[in-house]
Amino acid sequence: METLGFLATGFSVALAPMNLALVLIGCFVGTLIGSLPGIGPINGVAILLPLAYAMGFPPESALILLAGVYYGAEYGGRISSILLNVPGDAGAIMTTLDGYPLAQKGEGGRALALSAVASFVGSIGALILIVLFAPMLSDLALKFGPSEFVWLMTFAFTCLATMVGSRPLKTTIGVVIGLLLATVGVDSGTGFLRFTMDIPNFFDGVDFLVVVIGMFAISEVLVLLESWLRNDMKMTPVGKSFVSISDLLAVKWVVLRSTLIGFVIGVLPGTGASIGSAVAYGTEKRFAEGNDDQFGKGDIRGLAAPEAANNASAAGSMLPMLTLGIPGSGTTAILLGALLMFNITPGPLLFEQQPEIAWGLIASMFVGNLALLVMNLPLIGMFVRLLSIKQSYLVPIIVMLTFIGIYSIHGDSFDLYFMVVLGVFAFILRKLGFSLAPVILGLVLGEVLEDNLRRALSISGGDWGILFNGPITITLAIATLLALVGPFVMKTLKKR
C-alpha cells in the first residue's frame, strides 16, 4: 500500500505540465533518434544532457526528459530494422530477423504495429515489476556473481546455436567470428593488449556500434547497389495490413515471457537490451520447437519476442541505477552521470531521501510509454512510406546517416574506415549465405562470457567448481542442459 502512495506522489510529479511536456518531447526525439541508423539512445542522451543542464531544469525534469529519449529510442530502433534491415540501435538487431522478411512480404505495417504493441507491453510489464519488486530485485541482482553470468551467457549461446535453424554450421562460424572480434583490445585479466596492431582505437576493443552499423547498414547498401547494377531493383510492396486482434492473441504468451526475460536481464548489471532480446528470441524459438520453420522468414512470434524484451530490459536497467547507483546498461551509465551532474547520488537512499525523483521518473515512464504507443500507431502509415522512396535516394541517405552517426561516437575518422571494411566483409559473408546476427551476438555475449569466466576463476584460484556454487548457477546449468538436449529427447520420444 505504501508503494501506491509513493506512486501517487510520482504521478503528481510526472503530470505537472512542464514534466508532461518534457516526457512527450523526450519520447518523440527518442523515437526519431532510435529510428536513424547509427544514432542510438546513447548519442541521444549524450546530446541532450548538456542541453538539459544548460536550460537549468530541476533534476527530476531533466531526468524525465533524458529517460524519455532512452525508451523512446527503444521504440524507434525497430523502424529501420523492420523496413530497411538496418538496426536503428543495438537492442533492435534481433528485430531484423523476422521484421525485415515481413516487410518484404508487404506486411511492413502489420510488423510495425505489432512490434509497437509488443514494445508497449514489454515496457509497462517491466514497470509494474519494478513497482512491485524493486527492493527485492536489487538484492537479487547483487547475488548475480561472475559464475552466474557465465551460465547465463552459456544459456544464451545454447539458444543461439539453433537460432538460424537450417544452417547450424554457418551460424557457429558466425558466432566464432564474433567471438574473435571480442578478443581485440586490452585484456582486463592481465592488462596486455591483444590483437590491437598498435592502433590506439582498438585499445578498448572494437566499438560495438561501429561493428553493428558497419555490418548491417553498409552491407545492406552494398546489396542495394548490387541489385541496381544488375537492374533488378524491386519495389517492396507497401501493404495496407494492420495489427489484428488475432495477431495479438497469437503472441500474447510470447510477449509476456519475453517481457519477463528482458526485464530480468536488464536488471542485471552489465547486460542490456541487446542481450535481453537475443535470449528472448532464442527462448521463443525453443518454445516453438517443431512449429518453428517460419522463424527467420517473417514469423510474428520472432518479431514480438525481441521487441517486448528490449523495451523490458531498457526499463529494467533503470532499477539497479536508481536503487544501487550501478548502471545496468551503457545508456543508464550516462543517465547516472547526469544524476551526478545534478548532485544527486543514486543509491540505496534515493528512494527514501528524494522520492520525488525516483518515483517521478517511474511514473513518467508509464505516461511516456502510453504516449509512445499513441504516437507510434498513427505514424506507421508514414513510416511505411519509407519503402516507397526510390532506392537511388534511399541509399545515399542511409550512407550519410551512418557516417554521421558513427563519426559522432568518437569524432575520429578511423571508425569510418573500419566501418566500411566491416561492411564489405559483411557483404561477402552475406553472399556466402551467412547470417549477421550471430556475429554480433558472438561479439556481445563473448565479451561478457570471457570477462566473467575469468573473474570467476580468479576468485576461485582456478577451481572450476565455482561454476556450481549455488542454487542460481545450478538452475541455469540445468536450463542450459535442457536447451541443449531437450530437442533430441523430444524427437526420439516422438518417433516412438
Partner 1 sequence: MKTFKKSLLALSLIGMTSMASAYEPSKPTCIAPAKPGGGFDLTCRVVSTGFERAHLLNAPMAVKFMPGGVGAVAYNHINKVNPDDGDALVAFSSGSLLNLAQGKFGKDLDENDARWVGTAGVDYGAIMVSSDAPWQTLGELVEDMRKDPSAFVLGAGGGVGSQDWMKAAILMKASGIDPKKMRYVAYEGGGEAVAALMGGHIKVYPGDIGEMKGQLDAGKVRVLAVMSPERLEGEFASIPTAHEQGYNAEWTIMRGYYLGPKVSDEAYQYWSNKFAEAYKTEGFKQTVAEKGLMPFYMHGEALDEYVKVRVQDMRELAKAAGLLK
Query: Which residues of the shown chain bind partner 1 in the complex (CB under 8 A)?
Result: 42, 45-46, 49-50, 141-146, 186-191, 193, 198, 200-201, 203-204, 269-270, 320, 324-327, 330, 333-338, 340-341, 343, 345-350, 409-412, 451, 454-455, 458-459, 461
**Is the CB of 34 or the CB of 185 nearer to partner 1?**
185
Q: Which is nearer to partner 1, 116 or 453 (CB)?
A: 453
Residue 92 DSSP class? G
Q: Which is nearer to partner 1, 146 or 360 (CB)?
A: 146
The 10 Å CB-count burial string (b at 16+, else e) for 431-453 is eeebbbbbbbbbbbbbbbbbbbb
217/38 Cα distance (integer angstroms): 9
The nearest distance, CB 469 to partner 1, in angstroms, is 10
Distance of closest approach, residue 334 Cβ to partner 1, in angstroms: 4
Give the separation between CA 449 and CA 260, rounded to whole angstroms: 22
For residues 3 and 58, the answer to whether their CB atoms sit within 8 Å is: no
Alpha helices, DSSP H only, in 85-145? 95-102, 108-143
**Phi, psi at residue 186, to the nearest 5°?**
-65, 135
Contact 114, 123 (CB under 8 A): no
Comparison of 74 and 451: residue with beta carbon closer to partner 1: 451
Query: Measured from the CB atom, is 193 or 394 closer to partner 1?
Result: 193
Min dist CB 215 to partner 1, Å, is: 20
Give residue for cell 541487446.
274
Which of 142-157 are b and which e, b meaning 16 or more Cβ less than 10 Å from the residue's Cβ?
eebbbbbbbbbbbbbb
Q: Give the nearer residue to partner 1 in terms of CB position, either 345 or 388.
A: 345
Closest approach of partner 1 to the CB of residue 201, in Å: 6
**Shortest distance (Å) from residue 62 CB to partner 1:** 13
Phi-psi region of 206 (alpha: psi -120 to 50; beta: other; left: phi over 0): beta
Q: How far is the CB of 145 from partner 1 (least distance, A)?
A: 4
Shortest separation between residue 29's beta carbon and partner 1, angstroms: 16
Nearer to partner 1, 149 or 383 (CB): 149
Q: Which of 472, 450, 477, 480 is nearest to 144 (CA)?
A: 472
At which residue does the C-alpha cell 561501429 appear? 210
Q: Please spell the DSSP secondary structure of 383-450, one letter per residue.
A: HHGGGGS-HHHHHHHHHHHHHHHHHHHHS-THHHHHHHHHHHHHHHHHHTT--SHHHHHHHHHHHHHH
Smallest separation (angstroms) from partner 1 to the CB of 148: 9
Question: How many Å apart are CA 308 and CA 92, to the nearest integer?
Answer: 11
For residue 193, the cross-strand partners are: 186
Element (H, E) at 194: strand 193-194
Q: Apex CA 184: angle with CA 176 and CA 44, to 5°?
A: 95
319 or 437: CB nearest partner 1: 319
Distance, CA of 401 to CA of 425 (rounded, Å): 20
Nearest by Cα to 119 from 378, 283, 285, 304? 304
CB of 169 to partner 1, least distance (A): 33
Give the nearer residue to partner 1 in terms of CB position, either 184 or 303.
184
Gap between the Cα atoms of 176 and 491, Å rounded? 28
Shortest distance (Å) from residue 411 CB to partner 1: 5
- Angle in degrees, CA 363, 4, 128, rounded to 5: 55
| Nearest C-alpha neighbor of 374 from the set 126, 119, 128, 74 | 119
Of the two residues 108 and 346, which places its CB atom closer to partner 1 in the complex?
Answer: 346
Closest separation in Å from C-beta 163 to partner 1: 26
Cell numbers given for 85: 534491415
Element (H, E) at 67: helix 59-84
Shortest spacing between CB 209 and partner 1, in angstroms: 11
Give the amino acid at 359: W
In the bound state with partner 1, the residue whose beta carbon lies nearer, of 94 and 141, is 141
Residue closer to partner 1 by CB (options 347, 486) is 347
